[in-house]
Amino acid sequence: MEVSQDFPVSSLKHSAGGPRMTSTELTAYGVISFIVVLWCHYKWNRRHFERLASKMTGPPAYPIIGAGLEFVGTPQQVIERIIKLFDIYGSEPFKVWMGTSLGVTISKPEDVQIVLNSSKALEKDQFYKFFKNTVGEGLFSAPVHKWRRHRRLITPVFNANLLDQFFPVFNEKNRILTRNLKKELGKTQPFDLWDYIADTTLDIICQTAMGYNLDTQLNNESEFAEALTKASELDSMRIYKPWLHPDIIFSIYGKLTGLHNVYKTLHKLPNQVIKEMKETYAQRKIDNKSNTIDVNDDDKKRLKVFLDTLLDLNEAGANFSDEELRDEVVTMMIGGSETSAITLCFCLLLLAIHPEIQDKVYDEIYEVLGDGDQTITIEDTTKLVYLEQCLRETLRLYPIGPLLLRQLQDDVKIFSGDHTLPKGTTCIISPICTHHIPELYPNPWSFNPDNFDAENVSKRHKFSFIAFSGGPRGCIGSKYAMLSMKVLVSTFLRNYSVHTNVKLSDIKLKLDLLMRSANGYPVTIRPRDRRPTYKKNTHCSTVNL
């Protein structure tokens, strides 16, 4: 049989030997196989997350970005969308894909208690790294191993004796506030409470944390106060710009723009004060040993501040480095200034919106402190029960931190849905949702201080109110915050009544690092005549008769 001339011999040989792949084809097949193996490995490691996610509702998610589109927008739009998500999905746990990481919202008090009390949920989420340029690794943002040691050492120093020593500072700074507010008397145009309250709380915390008189109420050109504001804005900007999330990119951006100097300026004052106080502390030790002066009498007269207690702990063997001392001091200063200022501004605005509640608060203040100018004491604050109810109701209505994020270090089982949350899940604990569950708080978006009378509190789960977080990593300064806020509000209302044209429905929220009013806190004030309102009301009734 002859081979046709139309069919090349070379083709027959190639066909007889079978198809052969080129090196390019081999490389392509290798790459594809490697990608398939990686994808299978990735899916296998995520099987627990995807199995849980398949059982939950939640906002739509997309590759790589997850549900990120839900949180794109202005700070005001972001908090509106967060609240809307809870309106849609309710208080049951629901999923939120944060990029490729699974987040599960936890709102019911029973589930919140499990997570916040769990030793497997003590680690803060990676989100908190955005604060480290500002607060370093203080109690707020420290990894668990460091947090455990610092918390164990620091907690005992926040006792009644230490807090009682702060009252002269509270009273002094509030007297300055009262004098500064006089310029607003007689004006019909509203002013923003923030302009006065923020300076006051910053002065108080600087004095009680470091023993340093920053005096921003009388000196508006404070380098430290300006750096604190800019650092907060910078951290907030980073959150909303995903391309700045990687540390190396943010570091380069900071150096190119010069913004990294903001953090240097912020830390300059604490570093300087720590250096000086350590030198003074060492000198007092020498003087004690040589008995050259009566140090004990001087120490009794001197205000003992938070930094003093840290240096005492160092003397007892705590071995805090200078950087750790600074991180803890700065953490307390930031945690005790802006957070308190926002709550105080909201509280006074709410009292202006509800004059009948304001009158009731003032009557209690009058009953405890009378009509003189006596300074308030720590014993007096324990009697201001209704005022504390108002502050707690303010924190319920407008929690400063509307979301708390914890990363699970092991599996945790919750009540709702009988779900087991796998290791690596980010638990999104939501005060803004928990505080507005109608079954816990009827008419949840109204201002009702009676929500926190003893009877109503006893009916609710302990974790129905989580404005100060809860469990082992709960806010260490909650007592300090409540005492300082009671002093400020009582001093304010003893001297002025506060008024506004704003309605509760007019308050719009925004979320940067903290949740605050988008339109400020506009009020007017009038001088207080130092008489209880119930006596005035009784008198009016008699006249009418």
Lowest mean pLDDT among 14-23, 179-188, 510-519: 14-23
Interval 293-330: pLDDT, tens? 454 555 555 678 889 889 989 988 889 999 999 999 99
Would strands 522-527 and 191-192 be described as parallel, antiparallel, or unpaired?
A: antiparallel
Of 371 and 465, the one with more pLDDT? 465
Checking if the pLDDT of 11 tops 70, the result is no
- Full-model pTM: 0.89
Mean pLDDT of 95-122: 95
- Cα(487)–Cα(494) distance, rounded to whole angstroms? 11
Checking if the pLDDT of 374 tops 90, the result is no
Mean pLDDT of the chain: 88
475 annotated among ligand-binding-site residues:
yes
- 13: pLDDT confidence band, cut at 50, 70 and 90? very low
Mean pLDDT of 243-265: 89
Interval 205-234: pLDDT, tens? 999 999 889 888 887 778 888 888 888 888
- 352: pLDDT confidence band, cut at 50, 70 and 90? very high
- For the chain, the residue count is 545
- Cα(56)–Cα(418) distance, rounded to whole angstroms? 12
Burial, 120: exposed, middle or buried (Cβ in 10 Å; 0-12, 13-18, 19+)? middle
Interval 27-47: pLDDT, tens? 888 888 888 888 887 778 788
Q: Which amino acid is at 424?
A: G
- Cα(244)–Cα(43) distance, rounded to whole angstroms? 28
- 117: pLDDT confidence band, cut at 50, 70 and 90? very high
- Cα(225)–Cα(205) distance, rounded to whole angstroms? 12
* High-pLDDT (> 70) share of the chain, %: 92
Checking if the pLDDT of 17 tops 80, the result is no
- 111: pLDDT confidence band, cut at 50, 70 and 90? very high
The candidate with the shortest Cα–Cα distance to 343, out of 168, 486, 449, is 486
